[in-house]
Amino acid sequence: MAVRILLADDHTILREGIRGLIEARMPEAEVVGGAATGLEAIEMCAKFQPDILLLDISMPDLGGLEVLAELPNVSPKTKVAILSQYSDPGYVMRALRLGAKAYIPKKALAQDLIAAIRAVLEGRTYLDPSVAHLVVQAAINPVEGGDEDLEISGLTAREREVLKLTAEGKTAKDVAKALGISVHTANRHRANLMDKLDIHSKAELVKLAIRLKIIAI
């Protein structure tokens, strides 16, 4: 029986490229479909019950981590390999805690992606060497706050400032004035940090800031 693989990424060209790679190097595999949003990924997993879901973290409608959390309810036997542009320890640890079996950066070589898929099929966990190195370094030299701070380890200093001010209820205009930047730049920083954190609303951002004690209640 063919190994059934579902691809979930919002970039059509990337999905088609990965499909071609898998079909060329894994004759035993069948790519059963491609999802462009998180909701589509959930719906297609429920329909096809794939052996592996190759999943991007940053997805429209429903983020990759949210897909991971929901997946056991619709396709409990599907194993997830994360393919992401983000390789910060925070993303990796959150994904693994939610059940991901592999984490591969999008800059990885083709043979590494195939190796990751084969490892997951064999019941092993696969971390790209560059990702594994970052996770080990984070464990050896933990940032103040421990595992929770890993969640925001991928943010720049400016993005952390914008996170704090936004969680405090400041508007983009207020943030811009406080940091001496333009409103456009403030909005861009907020969009970037929400994308990195897989957050889709201001309410979620505030909850995260409270939990990590970035702001007080």
Mean pLDDT (the chain) is 86
Average pLDDT, integer, range 127-156: 65
**Helix crossing, 89-97 with 64-74: angle to 10°?**
10
Which pLDDT does position 141 carry in this prediction? 58
What is the CATH topology of the domain spanning 155-211?
Answer: Arc Repressor Mutant, subunit A (1.10.10)
Q: Which of 158, 10, 155, 163 is nearest to 90 (CA)?
A: 155
Comparing 50 with 128, the larger pLDDT belongs to: 50
Residue that wins the pLDDT comparison between 35 and 207: 35
Fold for domain 3-137? Rossmann fold (3.40.50)
Q: What integer is the mean pLDDT of 30-51?
A: 96
Domain ranges across the chain: 3-137, 155-211
Average pLDDT of span 188-209: 84
**More confidently predicted of 133 and 204:** 204
Q: What's the order of all strands across the beta sheet hosting 52-55?
A: 29-35, 3-8, 52-55, 79-84, 102-105, 126-127
Interval 177-198: pLDDT, tens: 999 999 999 999 998 888 888 7
**Is the pTM of the predicted complex or chain greater than 0.75?**
no
pLDDT at 146 over 60: no
pLDDT computed for residue 145 by the predictor: 46
The count of other CB atoms within 10 Å of the CB of residue 180 is: 7
**For range 43-66, the mean pLDDT:** 91
Q: What is the pLDDT of residue 140?
A: 54
Question: In this predicted structure, what is the pLDDT of residue 139?
Answer: 56
Residues 20-28 have a mean pLDDT of 95
Please indicate whether residue 143 or residue 87 has the higher confidence score (pLDDT).
87
Q: Kindly state the tokens that stand for 56.
A: 């991007």
CA dihedral 108, 46, 204, 55 (to 10 degrees): 0
